[in-house]
Structure 1
Amino acid sequence: MTLFKARNIQKRFGARVVLENISLSVEEGTVHGIMGPNGAGKTTCFHVLTGFYPPDDGRITFEGHDITGRKPHQIARLGISRSFQIMNLFDDTVVIENVILALPDFRALSFNVTRNVFDDITLVDRALEVLDRVGLADRAWQKAASLSYGNRRALEIAVALAADPRIVFLDEPTSGLGAEATLRLMELIRNLREAYTIVIIEHDMRFLFELADTISVIHWGQVIAEDTPAALRANKWVARSALGDVA
């Protein structure tokens, strides 16, 4: 079943056309990759799909409902969550508090500067469950700033999962990671795919080809191909682009 769909998305910044005609479909229960050379428009596409930029034209649907132009917080409430290429964590507090603050049940209580986030054991238990999913339960009470870079990436994914989403968008999750941490992240995403639909924009093409069921290739502001990794290796448009060597 198609869970998320974009059709004929266009985005301009002044006279510059960044996205000319983007269409892609994400099937439920899959890992869907978005790749392309630098300047192809994939980051702008990611921001449009997750509500950070409104499209100038086109339509985006989630579970068959039109979400075109909705704000990020409105999209998040529907069950769409995302991470960021530049990590967005609270370093001056402990790991588990980053997750508690992102839980819907905590947000429903409204912000209260006098409230201790650890007062509600139900919230603590739920946050520990999320951290366990990403392999960080044993580091729950450490300072977030003390985590290794790879574990900080895992924590950011945990924050995205805390919203209890149906679909998770990951923005360049391997950025800044070494080989060993990249392998750990790959195993984490393999485990998460059992419970979530995942969309990954990624510069590490080998990482993406290992994980994705389907990949959308963006070039010149358009999707020039959308297929399985195996099929893309034989695609003439991919072969002629700068991605050919990787594929």
Structure 2
Amino acid sequence: MPTDLRPFLWLLLLGVPLNVYFFANGAGSYAEGGDPKIILPALIFFGVSGYRCLFPNRYEGNVVFHDTKLSASLPTRILATFSEVAYIYQFSHVIRVLNVNDVGWIDALSWLMVFEVGVSQFFVWGAILTNRLRLYVYEELGWAILFAANTIASGYLYATTTLSPDRAGLLVLSLGFGFVYLPWQFLHLRSLWLNAGTNENKGEVPEAMTLTLIKRNAAHALHSRRPSTLSADWGGAIGLTWMTAYWASLIPLWIYHVVRVLGTT
């Protein structure tokens, strides 16, 4: 793994026209009467993903590629909150749409996904505003739980439901993603846990959670930026894979495919 990620961080810009294209086509489908529960979450996601390709950052350490306020952790996190809740809601809605036999526990799993993404928002905001790195572990554990729920629901529906090929293909995509993502996510969780432990072992006593602490860390997330292209600052290969797949390739392509299959029916 290269120690300097500058070329890779510049390549994230390729995700901007991709997300703009998806946004424009999705907006066109919505204008033609497409399903708002499918299309509007996608539009939010494409807009925020394009922004993050332009201004990548890493919350931990307020690491940025471009030294501008637009890269700061606080505005990025606000946008990411809307984006994450939106696209997980879309994925959960897909499960409910494809649950043509109205299996109760499948619908329950789909709503568990929405609940878990909300819990993860609580933990990531807690990590940013209190500087307790262990909370990032719990945030990512929530993502593992919600995608496990998505994978289980998709597997059951694929095995028990007769659907058109394009709709069945959405379930295959969910299954394929789950089989790759869940093992990767446990590696990610391990790296976050070890990183949090390393910081805790420095012997610093965590500051008590007070309103003063939260205000100070919020201001820090708004104004503090540490420009870097070092691999270690961006989470190494795991961090690079996550950024590329999440903002600039796999997830945007998946969400756009959902729009094409379900958004106009």
TM range (shorter): under 0.3
Q: Which gives a bigger RCO, structure 1 or 2 (Cα 8 Å, sep 6+)?
A: 2
TM-score (norm 1): 0.27
- Structure with more helix by fraction: 2
More strand by share: 1
TM-score, reference length from structure 2: 0.26
